[in-house]
Structure 1
Amino acid sequence: MHATPLEPEQAPLARITLVRVRDQHEVLLTVHHMVLDGWAVQLLVAELSEAYAAVRQGRIVSFPTDPVPFSTYAQEQAAARADGRWDKSIAYWCGALTGAASATLEPDLPGAVASGAPGAILLYGFSAEAGAGIAALAKATFATPFAIIAAAAQLVLTRAGAGPDVTVGVVTANRMTTRDQALLGYTANLCMIRGKVAETVQCRRGGECRPRRHVADVDSSSGALPRGVWGVARADPGRPRRPRAAAFELSRSDRHRSAARPQSSATLLPSPNRAARADVAMSVWETDGGYLAEVEYHTGRYRESSVLTLLHDLDRVLADGGAEPQRAVGSFDVASSAAPSAAAQAAVNSSPLVGLLPDSANWRHIVAAWTDVLGAPPAGADVNFFAVGGNSLQAPYASWRR
């Protein structure tokens, strides 16, 4: 059941399978990511657990409040866009990300860039030395542990060849109110962190181990940027183009502080995910013994050994940077190989096949929408939109203005 594809245009968009493993029962939830984000999955598991406990105890299944439909949230977001409440946020992000190029690992396999491509998950425990380094750098720079890890990832990428201007993605829950926090749906947003990495700057001075420019550090109205807002910005030809959706993504996970209600008896188990939403996506959380990471990666582009090399580089940078905060960024050596992902995208979009597209009203409409989303026309009539960086959450916004 888990391996059967989910088609977005056909119900159902979620499946639940109950299996027995020795003396325990496990529920396998298969759901399309456009329906539920990670926070919402925890809410759903909590409610399933409460309902199960009530049935076992002979109680009526009930909840303290009526749920807010996701359609209400969607309508409010549409109204905010229409009345101009997004304008300040769009202007800020356009300025902050002008000329930025998202960074990624150099692929060692021939797979194409595509959201939802075959993927695998790797669990990694950071060394005790890296944990001590995170604590030391957080104290020295007054930054959070996650900011330290994100900055160290930018250091590794720039030293691996991505250049001094490094942009990576950070996934945020985007639940700004108590009501939003109880919403069952998808509200996650991808923010872009752009760091200027100067080789002469010391870790303790902030250059890399406290990012010089963090585009999420804005006022509350800009920080609450709704999902898909970049599609609206790109539909305006007078605005700068953003980088392709981040190929390298980071997120912080509170595994010990679940969004589930306290009386929940269910426990979330490691995901058997088989799809990759980015080249490399890493979620980090704290445990009593240090820091753990769950890395989702595109198996058509990377071998497990390449992902492990990246993690080992990150581990050493955190450990050595914390032990020697005065150390300059340029003194770190890494084994990984990275590059700005925009370079490969530009090569595809500059193909001479562009002039061979059919000429019709429908094709002109497709080319205009394609250019709005990806920044350049398709390289040919048979190019796969998803294989060159597009995704299903970007496309609708290009068509809204037509």
Structure 2
Amino acid sequence: MDSLSPEDEAELERLCFRTLLERARLASMMAPLGTLYIVWLVWETTPWFWIIGWMLLNSLSDGITYVLSGRWLKQPLPHARIPAALNWQIVLRVLQGLSWGAAIVFFHGEGETAAIGDMIILLLLISISAVSVTNMAPSFITMLTFCASILIVPFLFFLSLGESLYINLAIGLGVLFLVEMQIGWDAYRQFEEGMRQLVQNRSNRRQLELRNGQLDALNQTLQVMAVHDQLTGLYNRHFIVEQLERQYEMFGRYGSVCSIVLIDIDHFKNVNDSFGHGVGDNVLVSFARCVEPLLRQGDFFGRYGGEEFILVLPMTDSAAAAQLAERIRNKLKDSDLLAGQQDAWCLSASFGVAEIRSGESLDSWLVRVDQALYRAKDNGRDCVVEE
């Protein structure tokens, strides 16, 4: 499995710790059932103060575990505080284990039935210890300390009794502990590997989402570049031709009127020759920004080539298109597109306007608007000619 980044390792620790808290809280809620069962077993044979004392001892650590676990689950700790909180969990598990194991000492009876009572309580302790192997799998050290704590008290107590039965039980507890640790280690490794894979999958998903986002952004950029002129930011010739084809099709189907305005900046070559191509490029950009505020949403404004620009005006007849061209021409006269240059030079533009006609082809429509533009130039430039 691939190694995790430091951030993912921290996430792994948080997930393991949170799972440990969830299981510890659930165990503390179930613990009173075992407590009441033992109390029920010894109620008639043990003084009440021993019973109350053991119940208080056993319930104290469970209560603290329930409160702390609930608080840390509701308000997750920063990663830097998790090791200290885990140490508290270990301390609480030790106290819980010792208090459970102490039941053997508190409720050890006398007489022929004492061994039976001890073995019933021992069976419950073994069950709790065995369940903790999987319950505490998120933290091997927590599981080890709890199992050791719950078994060490009966182990030492049985050895102290010196009877062969109890010595055999003590040996059995030692063997049980070793088996539990082997199974517990396997459970811990499986849990840790599963959580590690989960964190890795989440990391891969985040990276994939990031990569997809970058690809989407790049794709959008490429789409913009594919339909826009790099210098002016207007639509390019390819996109404008597509819109003309679409408008031509709409006219054929529904009779939707559409007009074209072809624009050519007058004497633009002289601008390049006099001021350089850098200034010429700035003029083209300034011209585009000058025209854009006059357009409606749904109009298409593009650079047709060189200093030629084109307007595709859906739902617009030639008269309205010519009026728009006049507004652009007048605004251009009031705009200083050569701002910053020493030589005073007022730029102008020539405009050709053509409305689509029934029965003509797209090419003939373009030829007509081109002819209108040439007539505007022949008429002295700085004018609008409607075809």
Indicate the structure (1 or 2) with the bigger Cα radius of gyration.
2
Q: Same fold (TM over 0.5)?
A: no
Q: Which has the higher helix share?
A: 2
Q: Which has the higher strand share?
A: 1
